[in-house]
Amino acid sequence: MTQTAVASKERKKTDPGTRTDLSSDAVTEISSELRKLLADVFALYLKTKNFHWHLTGRHFRDYHLLLDEHSEQILSMTDDIAERARKLGGSTLRSISDVTRHQRLLDNNADFVPPLDMLAELRADNLQLTRYLRSTHEVCARHNDVATTSLIETWIDETERRTWFLSEIATDLLGIHRDIADLLSGSQREKPDLSFHATLNPGSATPEDIAELFESISQLNRAFGGQGIVFRQIEGAPSGAQLDS
């Protein structure tokens, strides 16, 4: 039998619908892992947008823009994950309910989440997503799926960068809260004197000055669980409205 005839015979044995030289078991396992990964990425995307929309506080603009940047980066992963499964001949997610069935990251449907808790939760979710990415990478590497492992390595780097940013910000905010909490612990058993006076001159104070003052006071109030800080106007203030807490 000629070499041409052998090649022709081998081609006839090959399913014309075959898209990859990976085994069917490999395609099944990799597609399953990618399906769960895609569900987690969609869940993290929506949570990041949720916190982006509902963020409050004096650093609203900075954190609002940061979470918008993060959400765009997360969303950009979804098409590549889904199409990678399809390239191998596997299937991917088909609906929101499909996402719910396969996601491992938890949703947050609370009416209000403090900014620090938002950032800490997103940091934890991104860290967990990195673990899922590494696990999927191991499955792909075992089946010698170098294309998918290459994509995952890029996603791991991006996810670690998001975790880094969120961790640094959350740590800074937590440090501020701990400094305040330290005033109420240790040797200071009695309530410390946290009174202060803020004088606003109506001739020079801008609406932004007033808003920033009240936001600073409100943050201090929240740090004490919303207790122990009372605002009152002092009559006869020498230079405009004076608040005593």
What does the H/E/C string look like for 42-81? HHHHHHHHHHHHHCCCCCHHHHHHHHHHHHHHHHHHHHHH
As a whole number of Å, the CA-based R_g of the chain is: 28
Residue pair 91/41 in contact (Cβ under 8 Å)? The answer is no
Q: For position 204, what pLDDT does the model report?
A: 62
Residue that has been written with the tokens 């409100």 in this structure: 218
Can you give the pLDDT of all 245 residues of the chain as single tens digits?
A: 566 555 555 554 555 566 799 999 999 999 999 999 999 999 999 999 999 999 998 889 999 999 999 999 999 999 999 999 999 999 999 999 999 999 999 999 999 999 989 999 999 999 999 999 999 999 999 999 999 999 999 999 999 999 999 999 888 766 555 545 555 555 444 544 545 455 555 556 566 666 666 666 666 555 555 544 455 544 554 444 444 44
Distance CA 167, CA 119 (A): 8
Q: For position 240, what pLDDT does the model report?
A: 43
Q: Closest by alpha carbon to 130, among 44, 15, 14, 16?
A: 44
Distance CA 225, CA 177 (A): 11
Residues of each domain in the chain carrying CATH 1.20.1260.10: 22-182
Q: For position 189, what pLDDT does the model report?
A: 45
Backbone phi, psi, residue 16, to 5°: -65, -15
Task: Tell the CATH topology of 22-182.
Answer: Ferritin (1.20.1260)
Q: Which two tokens stand for residue 194?
A: 């946290």
CB < 8 Å & 24+ apart, contacts of 25-28: 26/143, 26/145, 27/88, 27/89, 27/90, 28/90
Q: Closest by alpha carbon to 52, among 77, 69, 74?
A: 69
Residue that has been written with the tokens 């491992």 in this structure: 104
DSSP structure string for 138-187:
HHHHHTT-HHHHHHHHHHHHHHHHHHHHHHHHHHHHHHHHHHHHHTTSTT
Q: For position 201, what pLDDT does the model report?
A: 58
Residue pair 70/163 in contact (Cβ under 8 Å)? The answer is no
